[in-house]
Amino acid sequence: MNILKYTEEEIRTFSISRQKASYLKALSEAVTNGTLDISSLSAKNEGQVRKELIQIKGIGNWTIDIYLMFSLQSPNIIPLGDIAIVNTIKELFNCTTTEEIEKISNNWKPYNSMASFFLWHHYLAKRNRKPVIY
């Protein structure tokens, strides 16, 4: 589907919020006009990927972390902007501050991505929810 041929209002008919529609258009425009070369990201280091993606309206650290983990299969990513990850670390390790959470996550390097999967699994299991597997 070519997002750019749709107005933001038309995109909203797909149950996408006005803000997310705006972000989808910004990402589509960046790819179309060559500002962002998605195919080149897999050859770049994490810092380079972050620097390029953060420039796109609507793409923040959480989105970049998830992209690095799932699309580029980076082994050492922990999305500390993810409420499930943060709440699970707080619960399991009885910590409250950002500094404590970061210190704990440093113990899992260079396997933070695997730790993230375990933390998500714990979060879902504790709430009697099943992970969605595609």
26 in any annotated domain? yes
Quick check: 4 pLDDT over 80?
yes
Tens digits of residue pLDDT in 12-21: 999 999 999 9
Enclosing domain of residue 102 = 83-126
**Is residue 77 in some structural domain?**
no
82 is catalytic: yes
Determine how many CB atoms are found less than 10 A away from the CB of residue 64.
21
Using alpha carbons, list the distances in angstroms from residue 12 to 58, 75, 107. 16, 35, 42
Give 3-state DSSP helix, strand, coil % of the chain, rounded to 5.
Answer: 60, 0, 40
Contact 116, 102 (CB under 8 A): no
The CATH number of whichever domain residue 24 belongs to comes to 1.10.340.30
Same domain, 53 and 106: no
- What was the pLDDT predicted at 130? 80
Query: Taking residues 50-76, what's their average pLDDT?
Result: 97
Q: How many structural domains does the chain have?
A: 2
132 part of a folded domain: no
Tell me the pLDDT tens digit for each residue of 70-102.
999 999 999 999 999 999 999 999 999 999 999
58 domain-assigned: yes
Residue whose C-alpha is closest to residue 3's, from 31, 34, 40, 36 = 31
Residue 35 has pLDDT above 90, yes or no: yes
- So what's the pLDDT on residue 134? 62
pTM of the model: 0.88
Find the catalytic residue in 56, 59, 79, 82.
82
Q: Supply the mean pLDDT for the chain.
A: 94
In a domain, 100, yes or no: yes
Residues 105 and 65 in one domain: no
Element (H, E) at 29: helix 18-32
Residue 78 falls inside a structural domain: no
Number of H helices, E strands in the chain: 7, 0
Residues 88 and 119 in one domain: yes
